[in-house]
Amino acid sequence: MSQTILLTGANGGVSRMIRPMLLERYGSIICSARRPMDDLVEGESFRLANLDSPDELRAACRGVDGIIHMGGQATEASWEVIRESNIDGMMNLFEAARAEGVKRVIFASSNHAVGMYPRTRKVGTEARVRPDSRYGLSKAFGEALGAMYADKHGMRVLSIRIGNVGLQPLDMRRMSMWLHPEDLVQLCAIGLEHPDLHHEIVYGLSDCIRSFWDNGAAYSLGYRPKHKAEDHLQAAIEGQKSQDANPIADAFVGGGFAGTEFDGDLDRALWS
């Protein structure tokens, strides 16, 4: 399918995993980052853009059909850092996309938008957000922003609540939220190509029978993951041996993000 695709945060770890597959599918990619990149290959071009610069973002979005937004602050941080990248920066990106007539945006959201759910519940995308951190809160904001731009400005937006991307799950928690890069590309393709997409939230999850989440929304859009977490069970068991037990972190989907700075009522948080 011929589209001009902009990949933000193109020098990040997840972006490096999916760039070759995106290039194969779409023939070319515009890579964007806040610093010059030295690993571009044939078919990739570069546009410098900082999320705090509306002018740079507009220039990056010019002539683009779809955006895969992998940029921004990728871990927990101070509110000042989170706000600049993932709140103000998201608003700048969506407004630049609207101004330049971009038709579709795929937003790399996160499981941490719902990280305060207990691991004993299976949660669908219709459940209310329960962020486990400032980072998770910013991802919930990004999802809401995508909904507004779809409803008010006619964009087609897919928010992917990414679990943990890699070639195999690293431990038993991530066994329940593992996402193979090839399956992530399939989700991105749905966001870029599905004819009936308006605004949807899906989980970034391969075939994980132990999942914490109900990913029916993704399957209704035609998602069919190719990779099974159970094929890597032994590796996850071995990886789990190096994980220190933490009764708070281990109770919630968000793991360490949920446990860090926690000083609330554990029982109430688990059963509310």
Give CA–CA dist 45/166, Å, rounded.
Answer: 25
Residue 2: its pLDDT value, please? 76
**Among residues 135, 149, 203, 223, which one is catalytic?**
135
Task: Give me the count of residues in the chain.
Answer: 272
What are the pLDDT tens digits along the chain (272 aa)? 679 999 999 999 999 999 999 999 999 999 999 999 999 999 999 999 999 999 999 999 999 999 999 999 999 999 999 999 999 999 999 999 999 999 999 999 999 999 999 999 999 999 999 999 999 999 999 999 999 999 999 999 999 999 999 999 999 999 999 999 999 999 999 999 999 999 999 999 999 999 999 999 999 999 999 999 999 999 999 999 998 999 999 999 999 999 999 999 999 999 87
Question: What are the two backbone dihedrals, phi and then psi, of residue 254, each rounded to the nearest 5 degrees?
Answer: -75, -5
Q: What are phi and psi of 5, to 5 degrees?
A: -110, 130
Return the pLDDT at 238: 95
Domains of the chain: 5-271 (3.40.50.720)
The enclosing H or E element of 200 equals strand 199-204
Active site residue 203: no
Long-range pairs for 40-47: beta carbons < 8 A, 24 or more residues apart: 44/19, 46/10, 47/6
Cα-based torsion angle of the residue sequence 28, 30, 35, 39 in order, rounded to the nearest 10 degrees: 0
pLDDT value of position 1: 61
- Coil/strand/helix, residue 30: strand
